[in-house]
Every structure is written in C-alpha cells, then in structure tokens.
C-alpha cells in the first residue's frame, strides 16, 4: 500500500544517542536541555525569534488565543474570530473549545487561502482576531490581512501548521501576525512525533505563554495565573533534533516528487497557485478534478491499486454541525468537493509515483 504520507524516520543511531543522554540525566520534561537545544536550533534554522515549543499544534493555537486576549468576552458576549472554512477542523474547533465563535469567510479560488476581500464584511463588535491559514504551506496575502487588522485593531494568529521553513520574499512567513503556530505531528515535513510551536512577534507575549503552558506556575511556590500543561518532553525534542539534522535531504527528495506531479498535471488539472517569491517546503500536492463524481472515482481507482489519496480538506467546515454555521461559502464548498491530496513523502520512488500518475490519467481519459 502507498499511503498519502509517511512519517520521516531519521537515523536510529543518532536518536539512540539522544535517548541515552535522557536516561543518564533522568530529566524527562519541564524544559529539559533537549527542548532548550531544539528551541535554539529552530529559531536559527527558521530565521525567527520568540519560539515556544508545545506538546501539539492544537494547543499551540489555544495558547496563542489566550496569550493574546482573544478568548476574553466582549460586553458579556462571546468573542469572535474570523477564519477559513477550508482547513483542518482544529483551526475552528480550537476557537470553539476556548469559547470563541469562529466566523468563516470564503476563500480565493486560486490560492485556496482566506480571501482578504471577504474579511471586512464579517467584522462585528465581537471580533477580536483574524485566524488565517497558510493552506498547504502557501502563504496568505499577509500584507492585505495585516492592513485590515491594523485598521480594526484586531490580533492576527496564523495557523501555519503546513508552513515550516516557508519563506516569502526572502523572509520566514512565520514572522507575520501577532503569532504563528506550527504543528510537529508525525505527518508533517518537520516533526517531533507529536508537538508544535508558537512564534510570537513580541517577547512579552512569549514570556506570558511560557507560564500558560506550565499551569501558570512562575516559581516553586508561586502561581501567577490560570494555565494548562502544554509542555514538550525530552523524547519528542530528541526526535525533532534528529529530523532537523536531516532536513535538507528530506526536502530535496520531497521537491523531486512534487515537481514530477506538477509537470504531469499542471496542463490537465488545476493546482494551487503559489506566488513566485516563495521558497516552498513541498509539504503537499493537491489537485482539483472537474467534478465531485470524478474525484470520488479517481480516489476509488487508486484505492483499488493500493494507493491512498485523501480528500483534504473535506468537508468544508461550514457544513460541520458542531460548528453551528448558518451561511454558505460556495468557493470553499466547491473546492473541497473536488480536491485530492496525492501521496507525497521523501522515499516515494519514481516508479511508484509514475504508477499513481498513470492511474489518474487513465481514469481521466475513461
């Protein structure tokens, strides 16, 4: 079977050496030396400051909301945050979990990101933040979004789960917004098995978040505020350090797979439009088919031959009952019904990939 993705597994010898060190120190969590080392190395690798490691990407979002005051009610009513329906459910469910109402706006039909032209009409007195998503690592229109946020005095928290290492106009896309969050789940380009990070614009926000991820505790006998346990442990950090050591080879392999797909499909199927000024991380390759029926048929044919392609993101979140949305978002609904994310991982062989490409082309010609 060829899955849609496979976790990158680094050198076992190097991982074992890190684990030996953990056993020798007997320091498993609570900001251990490997967490500290990974923090420093990621800041250097990504070209950013104020990075905080956490235990997963969903908690990264929730801690960012609380740190930036997004969860505070407005005149006794629940706060609102404007986001996209074309994303993984955690973007919206994390807001709802924190008592913030997600308000969706439709997406751009080419980039598949939140369309800034739709934002202002959705702003109400309850709006505290914008939560855009760099879909599949493709940067949002960050300048336009920031201009709207500045005009309306709103916080911007980017869900950058897919955007590890992505640079826009020569700078890390993670520098935009009041905060950007990363997921280090095992399926991501860079992973720590489970984990995540928050990158803050301001140092004072980082310091507040450090308290929040450790129960609000500031000392052995002092609790400053309400917090939670969202710390990363030493074993996750060890995996992250090993994966980071091998990032360049991983990215080169993924780039080769991504480019083969693009060459094979760019003239026959619609693919995501990405800006020319982008240094990409080759996290995903998704294509749009002519109809939902064709999408389902292609997916079924691939599955017959042991290939898993995922309808990612499907369904559009405005159709999810627990999010209680009473509006329609035709672009998101249309794209989510016709999209397939194709297998992409570092050791997908050329022969396996050409088999996938040929199966899809045969189905399209049928």
pLDDT tens for the 366 residues of the chain, in order: 999 999 999 999 999 999 999 999 999 999 999 999 999 999 999 999 999 999 999 999 999 999 999 999 999 999 999 999 999 999 999 999 999 999 999 999 999 999 999 999 999 999 999 999 999 999 999 999 999 999 999 999 999 999 999 999 999 999 999 999 999 999 999 999 999 999 999 999 999 999 999 999 988 889 989 999 999 999 999 999 999 999 999 999 999 999 999 999 999 999 999 998 999 999 999 999 999 999 999 999 999 999 999 999 999 999 998 887 778 899 999 999 999 999 999 999 999 999 999 999 999 987
Same domain, 237 and 349: no
Clarify whether residues 231 and 94 are in a common domain. yes
Domain count, the chain: 2
Of 229, 245, 261, which one is at a domain's C-terminal end?
A: 245
Cβ(337)–Cβ(295) below 8 Å: yes
CA distance 59 to 214: 12
Spatial distance between the Cα atoms of 174 and 129, rounded to a whole number of angstroms: 17
Phi, psi angle pair for 79, to nearest 5°? -70, 160
User: Is residue 126 a contact partner of residue 82, using CB atoms and an 8 Å limit?
Assistant: no
Parent domain of 274: 247-365
- Asked whether 63 and 54 are in contact (CB, 8 A), the reply is yes
Output the domain CATH number for residue 194: 3.40.640.10
pLDDT the model gives residue 326: 75
Q: Are residues 92 and 82 in the same domain?
A: yes
pLDDT in tens, 39-94: 999 999 999 999 999 999 999 999 999 999 999 999 999 999 999 999 999 999 99
Show which of 200, 230, 245 is a domain's final residue.
245
| In a shared domain, residues 240 and 251 | no
The residue annotated as part of the active site, out of 14, 155, 169, 188, is: 188
**Per-residue pLDDT at 366:** 77
Task: Indicate if the alpha-carbon torsion angle 135, 322, 156, 172 is positive or negative.
Answer: negative
CB within 8 A of 197, min separation 6: which ones? 42, 51, 52, 53, 54, 60, 181, 182, 184
Provide CB contacts within 8 A for 161, sequence distance 6+.
57, 88, 133, 181, 182, 183, 188, 196
262 in active site: no
Is the distance from CB of 141 to CB of 112 less than 8 angstroms? no
How many Cα atoms within 13 Å fall on the side-chain side of residue 270? Answer: 14
Q: Are residues 210 and 319 in the same domain?
A: no
Rounded to two decimals, the pTM is 0.97
């Amino acid at each position: 079977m060829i899955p849609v993705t496979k976790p990158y597994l680094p050198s076992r010898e190097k991982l074992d050496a890190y684990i030996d060190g953990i056993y020798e120190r007997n320091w498993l969590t609570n900001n251990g030396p490997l967490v500290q080392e990974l923090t420093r190395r990621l800041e250097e690798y990504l070209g950013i400051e104020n990075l905080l490691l956490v235990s997963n990407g969903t908690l990264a979002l929730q801690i960012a909301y609380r740190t930036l005051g997004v969860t505070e009610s407005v005149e006794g009513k629940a706060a609102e945050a404007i986001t996209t329906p074309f994303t993984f459910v955690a973007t919206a469910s994390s807001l709802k979990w924190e008592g913030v109402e997600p308000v969706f706006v439709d997406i751009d039909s080419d980039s598949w990101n939140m369309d800034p032209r739709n934002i202002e009409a959705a702003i109400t007195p309850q709006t505290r933040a914008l939560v855009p998503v760099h879909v599949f690592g493709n940067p949002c229109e960050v300048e336009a979004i920031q201009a709207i946020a500045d005009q309306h005095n709103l916080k911007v928290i980017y869900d950058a789960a897919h955007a590890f290492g992505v640079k826009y106009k020569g700078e890390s896309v993670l520098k935009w917004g009041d905060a950007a969050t990363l997921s280090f789940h095992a399926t991501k380009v860079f992973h720590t098995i489970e984990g995540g990070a928050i990158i803050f614009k301001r140092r004072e926000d980082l310091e507040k978040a450090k308290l929040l991820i450790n129960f609000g505790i500031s000392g052995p006998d002092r609790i400053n505020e309400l917090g939670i346990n969202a710390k990363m442990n030493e074993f996750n950090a060890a995996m992250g350090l090993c994966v980071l050591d091998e990032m360049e080879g991983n990215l080169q392999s993924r780039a080769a797979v991504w480019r083969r797909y693009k060459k094979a499909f760019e003239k026959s199927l619609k693919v995501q439009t990405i800006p020319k000024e982008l240094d990409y991380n080759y996290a995903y390759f998704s294509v749009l088919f002519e109809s939902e029926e064709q999408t389902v048929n292609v997916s079924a044919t691939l599955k017959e031959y042991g290939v898993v392609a995922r309808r990612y993101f499907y369904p559009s979140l405005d159709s999810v009952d627990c999010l209680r949305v009473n509006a329609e978002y035709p672009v998101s609904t249309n794209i989510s019904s016709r999209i397939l994310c194709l297998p992409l991982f570092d050791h997908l062989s050329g022969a396996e990939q050409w088999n996938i490409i040929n199966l899809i082309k045969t189905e399209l010609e049928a």
